[in-house]
């Protein structure tokens, strides 16, 4: 994320500044502040010390607080007041992270007593509040947070949130409630306002203030936008209303939970609560069936959808889902009958085509290849310009391919289609001896989907690598002068003045708040502001690239990736118009040293491990799955115990998996074991990491599974099917960004 020394114009070493500085070395520091002149942008002043402090910030973000403290300490006392202030903030955060709150207090006191800008002073007081709170000094912490709000009112709501936390922790619940009520009236972005109301609701629960708790839950429903969160809130409101005897209100809220997100766990719980109250009829049968279908309760779903069809025989969606439920419950003929009836009677061509294609898929899965082929042909004949037809064309060709009828596959795929069809068309042509035709098909797949699975696999085959392989790729720098040079030319190509892009970004109030919060070490809150900026400017390529560059240059690589994430959709099909820096910003590797060292110890490819961790947890060390997997590498506790035993670790506790160094160590070991078990068969090893060895062993026994592409295409578990592709795509991006040119064989 980002920092805010004296003022925004001078504190941020922005992306475009570094871009035009490509050939200018950083000035040597000799105790005196040295002006940094950037050729090519008149009057540009990037601000002091960003390059010097970025490593310390990266170390801190990656969990190596001791190294971060050592790095930042070297810059404390610099002749530049701005650099000295920024270094003190990083040093104090690092000391706090290693439990040296007393020393952090000394560092910050000197900073607080100096003549600082409002932004620096506010950040220092916010951080002081955290230090005092860690030392159990309640009064001092509250005073520091009050000063922060006074020094820079733009962060008043964040100071209030921390005051509420201190008051709660010290047992002053009534005062905390008053503070939360007041904070709820302060200007704030939506996510921050939700956090305030959540804090208020928790306090009201602790105070047994049922009416207040219920009222605040409904206030949250008024502002919440995420469907699953709304379902959670409505369910909680309904549950509480049942407890206090407000049955009618409870039924309304439970109904709302069901409709907010039918595929959520809270919708299922709400429906079960209604059933327990003999109020299932409060939910329309179709809606009831949808919730049960998503919960995997197929027999109950069939009953509900049947009731919906009795009420309205033209409810084609109800018939469609009843067909899927029947087939999934084992009644494939009955399911196919329903799906074919939808195709026969529905006026919505997309729904009708989808229903018929699903009927064919179920016939295929049941082993009725002749029946499936006939239905796929019917989809092509009746719904030729729909997504269902594209899927049917591929499945028809793939069935022929698996039967080794490559001539039929070539005929079916001859007219081309999406990247998937072109990829497999190339494989069929290669088998038929048409090498030129194969290359042409793969080139088209790579053109259609340059950063997607089939495009990347096509590039592999074009490069002479039919079997995806891994190796000990060397890790290179993420961001360097070459990238900035590319960006310096990229902005003018877009018709944008780099200085104008910088000034527009600096004018954002949300950026100022994010800078202060980052300097105070309030990373979650800063993330809310950055997410809000990225969401607000989701269609503004230049703004997002600039924001991402600011964050990455500062050392906040994960935040930079989140900032530029919207560009993936904005520029779909136009990837070539974006600068290479976008890929570099989009694919950071937090915990780089820990990850590389763990991979080396266990003989795993570090970039493959990074690709896996990105998919498993998004590099969130506190990630917890609904199944119970923990940490960066999402290791199940029982698997963790087995790995600990094999490593000879004593006194292993599943909570250890939330520590980055432990999760990466165990993830590297488990990945290396899967690669060894499957003799370097990448797709099989990845599938086993996700689904376990037993199902993978069964899949490998299927005809054609020795071909990695056939294996990957035939994985029957939807989650594992997607997982293998996503990790592979991540891996290819990491190779492009991080692998050194002389890394040798992959």
Nearest to 349 by CA among 396, 382, 312, 313: 382
Nearest to 357 by CA among 388, 325, 318: 388
Distance in angstroms (rounded) separating the CA atoms of residues 581 and 233: 40
Place of tokens 């029957």: 716
The residue length of the chain stands at: 746
The CA angle 484-488-491, to the nearest 5 degrees, is 125
Tokens of 238: 């309904």
Distance in angstroms (rounded) separating the CA atoms of residues 253 and 241: 9
Distance in angstroms (rounded) separating the CA atoms of residues 554 and 77: 20
Tokens of 373: 């082929």
Give Cβ neighbours of residue 297 (< 8 Å, ≥ 6 apart).
none
Distance in angstroms (rounded) separating the CA atoms of residues 641 and 348: 53
Tokens of 122: 């506010």
Encode 657-700 in three state secondary structure. HHCHHHHHHHHHHHHHHHHHHCCCCHHHHHHHHHHCHHHHHHHH
Neighbours of 10 (CB within 10 A): 14
- Show the DSSP H helices in 152-246 as ranges: 156-169, 173-183, 190-206, 210-223, 227-243
Label residues 264-298 b or e (16+ Cβ within 10 Å = b): bebbbbbbebbeeeebeebbbbbbbbbbbbbbebb
Exposed (0-12), middle (13-18) or buried (19+): which is 42, by Cβ within 10 Å?
A: exposed
Q: Is the dihedral of CA 580, 585, 586, 588 positive or negative?
A: positive
Distance in angstroms (rounded) separating the CA atoms of residues 393 and 416: 10
CB 339 within 8 A of CB 359: yes
The Cβ-side half-sphere exposure at 15, using a 13 Å CA radius, reads: 34
Tokens of 255: 């109904």
CA dihedral angle for residue 478, residue 479, residue 481, residue 484, rounded to 10 degrees: 140
Tokens of 704: 């054609």
Q: Which residues are catalytic?
A: 616
Nearest to 92 by CA among 120, 52, 51, 116: 120
């Amino acid at each position: 994320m980002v920092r805010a020394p004296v003022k925004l114009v001078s504190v941020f070493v922005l992306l475009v500044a570094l871009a035009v500085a490509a050939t200018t070395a950083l000035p040597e520091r000799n105790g005196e502040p040295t002006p940094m002149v950037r050729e090519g942008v008149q009057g540009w002043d990037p601000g002091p010390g960003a390059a010097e402090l970025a490593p310390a910030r990266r170390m801190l973000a990656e969990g190596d607080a001791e190294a971060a403290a050592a790095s930042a300490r070297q810059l404390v006392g610099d002749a530049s007041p701005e650099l000295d202030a920024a270094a003190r903030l990083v040093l104090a955060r690092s000391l706090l992270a290693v439990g040296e709150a007393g020393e952090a207090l000394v560092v910050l006191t000197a900073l607080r007593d100096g003549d600082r800008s409002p932004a620096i002073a506010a950040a220092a007081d916010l951080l002081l509040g955290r230090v005092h709170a860690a030392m159990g000094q309640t009064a001092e912490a509250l005073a520091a947070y009050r000063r922060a709000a006074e020094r820079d009112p733009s962060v008043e709501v964040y100071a209030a949130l921390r005051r509420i936390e201190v008051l709660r922790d010290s047992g002053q619940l009534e005062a905390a409630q008053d503070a939360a009520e007041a904070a709820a009236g302060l200007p704030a972005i939506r996510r921050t306002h939700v956090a305030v109301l959540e804090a208020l609701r928790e306090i009201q629960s602790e105070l047994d203030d049922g009416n207040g708790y219920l009222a605040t839950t409904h206030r949250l429903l008024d502002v919440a936008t995420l469907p699953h969160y709304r379902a959670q809130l409505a369910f909680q409101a309904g549950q509480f209303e049942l407890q206090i005897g407000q049955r009618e209100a409870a039924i309304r809220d439970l109904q709302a939970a069901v409709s907010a997100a039918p595929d959520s766990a809270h919708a299922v719980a709400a429906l079960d609560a209604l059933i327990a109250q003999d109020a299932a009829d409060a939910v329309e049968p179709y809606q009831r069936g949808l919730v049960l279908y998503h919960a995997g309760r197929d027999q109950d779903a069939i009953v509900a959808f049947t009731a919906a069809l009795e009420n309205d025989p033209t409810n084609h969606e109800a018939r469609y889902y009843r067909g899927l439920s029947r087939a999934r419950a084992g009644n494939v003929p009955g399911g196919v009958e329903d799906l074919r009836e939808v195709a026969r009677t529905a006026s919505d061509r997309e729904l009708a085509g989808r229903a018929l294609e699903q009927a064919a898929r179920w016939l295929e899965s049941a082993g009725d290849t002749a029946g499936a082929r006939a239905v796929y042909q019917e989809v092509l004949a009746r719904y030729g310009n729909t997504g269902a037809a594209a899927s049917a064309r591929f499945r028809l060709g793939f069935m022929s391919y698996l039967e080794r009828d490559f001539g039929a596959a070539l005929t079916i795929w001859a007219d081309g289609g999406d990247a998937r069809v072109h990829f497999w068309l190339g494989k069929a042509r290669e088998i038929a001896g048409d090498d030129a035709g194969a290359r042409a098909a793969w080139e088209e797949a790579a053109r259609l989907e340059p950063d997607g699975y089939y495009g990347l696999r096509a590039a592999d085959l074009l490069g002479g690598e039919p079997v995806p392989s891994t190796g000990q790729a060397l890790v290179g720098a993420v961001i360097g002068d070459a990238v900035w040079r590319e960006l310096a030319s990229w902005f003018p190509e877009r018709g944008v003045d780099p200085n104008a892009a910088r000034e527009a970004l600096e004018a954002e109030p949300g950026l100022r708040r994010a800078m202060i919060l980052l300097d105070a070490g309030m990373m979650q809150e800063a993330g809310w502001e950055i997410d809000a900026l990225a969401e607000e400017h989701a269609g503004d390529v230049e703004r997002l690239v600039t924001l991402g560059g600011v964050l990455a240059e500062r050392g906040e690589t994960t935040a930079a990736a989140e900032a530029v994430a919207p560009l993936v959709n904005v520029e779909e099909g136009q990837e070539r118009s974006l600068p290479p820096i976008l890929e570099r910003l989009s694919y950071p590797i937090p915990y780089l040293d820990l990850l590389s060292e763990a991979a080396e110890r266990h003989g795993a490819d570090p970039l493959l491990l990074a690709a896996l961790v990105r998919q498993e947890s998004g590099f969130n060390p506190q990630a917890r799955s609904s199944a119970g997997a923990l940490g960066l590498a999402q290791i199940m506790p029982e698997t963790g115990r087995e790995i600990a035993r094999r490593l000879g670790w004593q006194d292993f506790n599943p909570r250890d998996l939330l520590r980055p160094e432990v999760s990466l160590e165990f993830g590297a070991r488990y990945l290396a074991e899967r690669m060894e078990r499957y003799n370097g068969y990448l797709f099989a090893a990845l599938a086993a990491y996700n689904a376990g060895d037993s199902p993978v062993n069964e899949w490998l026994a299927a005809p054609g599974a020795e071909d990695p592409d056939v294996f990957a295409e035939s994985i029957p578990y939807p989650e594992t099917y997607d997982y293998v592709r996503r990790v592979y795509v991540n891996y290819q991006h990491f190779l492009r960004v991080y692998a050194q040119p002389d890394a040798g064989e992959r």
